[in-house]
């Protein structure tokens, strides 16, 4: 499959890229990792007149902690998240998420910011960024603006980014210990979009109960869903089995899936219920100090000790 013809420019600075995007607003697309864009071009689902390749701009590939936040630059690859030690130490939910995105070959090219900016409800990072209360930094001709994750996703392939803005950076506030998260995804095979995915980030109180919960849902709606009722329900509650089960029921009720090849709407809601309960348990155990490795889909098992409350 061959894309439609387009012009191609590879600016050397972010300022130049923004100017080009502004000049050609509506006709141009940003090329970063290209792992969503290039398939769309090949299928001619998108036929922009101009591609602005930002890969030649130096200094955008960072994943580091500064000023109390994790910062992920526009050119940080999924594989960079997998290898960053700070992510392993304090943002294990991001490790969990990256590990189930596409496959290792795609992750060597795909960018984290692209996963967000694309606005695909099947992408995995949006739910995790909702759970982590991340902020997205957009840069446009009028300068930078910061957009909270919960204000960013507007609908199917629709985000708060303007046509002449580039997602420059993701800022994740450093969790205050004891805190941890987990991301679980049911997929039919490696590289598939989620049948459903659930991101949970917990902060515990002094007695091991829930001080704060962030819960995001993947691919069970037109965009990533923040399960606000389940979050509110968990706040200031002990993390015992009945509470976890009830929170999972509430999260399932907040999912809004449609039937497709991955299953019926009822089935997907039930997957959300099961994964929410498991993710809460893993997050709570991690926050309490347990060393629980990234759960890979083909190693999921309800009998795993990690999943017991």
Partner 1 sequence: MSKHSVSVTVNGTAHRSEVEARLLLVHYLRDELRLTGTHIGCDTTHCGACTVLLDGKPVKSCTLFAVQADGRSVSTVEGLELGGELHAVQKAFKEEHALQCGFCTPGMMMSAVALLERNPSPSELEIRQAISGNLCRCTGYVNIVKAIQHAAADMRATRHTPAYVPAQEPAQVSR
Which residues here bind partner 1, judged by CB under 8 A? 1-8, 10, 31, 34-35, 38-39, 41-43, 51, 53, 55, 79, 102-106, 108-109, 190-191, 296
Shortest reach from residue 191's CB to partner 1, in Å: 6
* Cβ proximity to partner 1, 4 vs 176, nearer residue: 4
SS3 129: helix
- Gap between the Cα atoms of 177 and 147, Å rounded: 25
* Cβ proximity to partner 1, 2 vs 206, nearer residue: 2
Q: Which helix (H) or strand (E) holds 22?
A: helix 14-23
- Gap between the Cα atoms of 306 and 5, Å rounded: 52
* Cβ proximity to partner 1, 4 vs 241, nearer residue: 4
* Cβ proximity to partner 1, 8 vs 303, nearer residue: 8
- Gap between the Cα atoms of 254 and 267, Å rounded: 14
* Cβ proximity to partner 1, 9 vs 274, nearer residue: 9
Backbone phi, then psi, for 208, in 5-degree steps?
Answer: 85, 5
* Cβ proximity to partner 1, 36 vs 231, nearer residue: 36
SS3 196: strand
Shortest reach from residue 14's CB to partner 1, in Å: 18
CB 107 within 8 A of CB 156: no
In the sheet that holds 143-148, the strands lie side by side as 63-66, 69-73, 166-173, 135-140, 143-148
Shortest reach from residue 77's CB to partner 1, in Å: 9
Shortest reach from residue 295's CB to partner 1, in Å: 13
CB 17 within 8 A of CB 57: yes
**Rg of the chain (C-alpha set):** 19
**Residue 241: how many other CB atoms lie within 10 Å:** 11
Shortest reach from residue 116's CB to partner 1, in Å: 19
CB-based burial of residue 59 (10 Å sphere; 0-12 exposed, 13-18 middle, 19+ buried)?
exposed
Shortest reach from residue 102's CB to partner 1, in Å: 7
Shortest reach from residue 241's CB to partner 1, in Å: 31
* Cβ proximity to partner 1, 19 vs 109, nearer residue: 109
Beta-ladder partners of 158: 155
* Cβ proximity to partner 1, 52 vs 138, nearer residue: 52
- Gap between the Cα atoms of 160 and 133, Å rounded: 16
Q: Which helix (H) or strand (E) holds 70?
A: strand 69-73
């Amino acid at each position: 499959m061959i894309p439609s013809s387009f012009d191609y420019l590879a600016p050397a600075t972010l300022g130049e890229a923004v100017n080009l995007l502004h000049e050609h607003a509506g006709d141009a697309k940003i090329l970063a990792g290209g792992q969503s864009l290039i398939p769309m071009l090949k299928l001619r689902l998108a036929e922009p007149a101009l591609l602005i390749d930002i890969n030649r701009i130096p200094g955008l590939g960072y994943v580091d902690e500064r000023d109390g936040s994790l910062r992920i630059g526009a050119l940080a690859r999924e594989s960079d998240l997998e290898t960053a030690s700070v992510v392993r130490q304090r943002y294990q939910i991001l490790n969990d998420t990256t590990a189930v995105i596409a496959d290792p070959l795609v992750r060597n090219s795909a960018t984290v910011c692209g996963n967000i900016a694309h606005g695909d409800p099947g992408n995995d990072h949006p739910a995790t960024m909702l759970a982590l209360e991340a902020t997205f930094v957009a840069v446009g001709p009028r300068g930078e603006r910061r957009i909270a994750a919960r204000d960013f996703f507007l609908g199917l392939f629709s985000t708060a980014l303007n046509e002449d803005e580039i997602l420059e950076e993701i800022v994740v506030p450093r969790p205050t210990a004891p805190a941890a998260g987990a991301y679980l995804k049911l997929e039919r095979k490696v590289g598939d979009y989620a049948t459903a995915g659930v991101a949970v980030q917990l902060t515990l109180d002094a007695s091991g109960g829930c001080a704060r919960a962030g819960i995001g849902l993947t691919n069970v709606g037109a965009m990533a869903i923040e399960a606000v009722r389940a979050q509110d329900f968990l706040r200031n509650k002990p993390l015992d089995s009945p509470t976890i089960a009830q929170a999972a029921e509430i999260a399932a009720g907040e999912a809004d899936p449609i039937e497709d090849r991955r299953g019926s709407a009822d089935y997907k809601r039930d997957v959300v219920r099961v994964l929410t309960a498991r993710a809460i348990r893993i997050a709570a155990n991690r926050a309490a100090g347990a060393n629980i490795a990234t759960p890979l889909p083909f190693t999921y098992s309800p009998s795993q000790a990690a999943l017991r409350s």
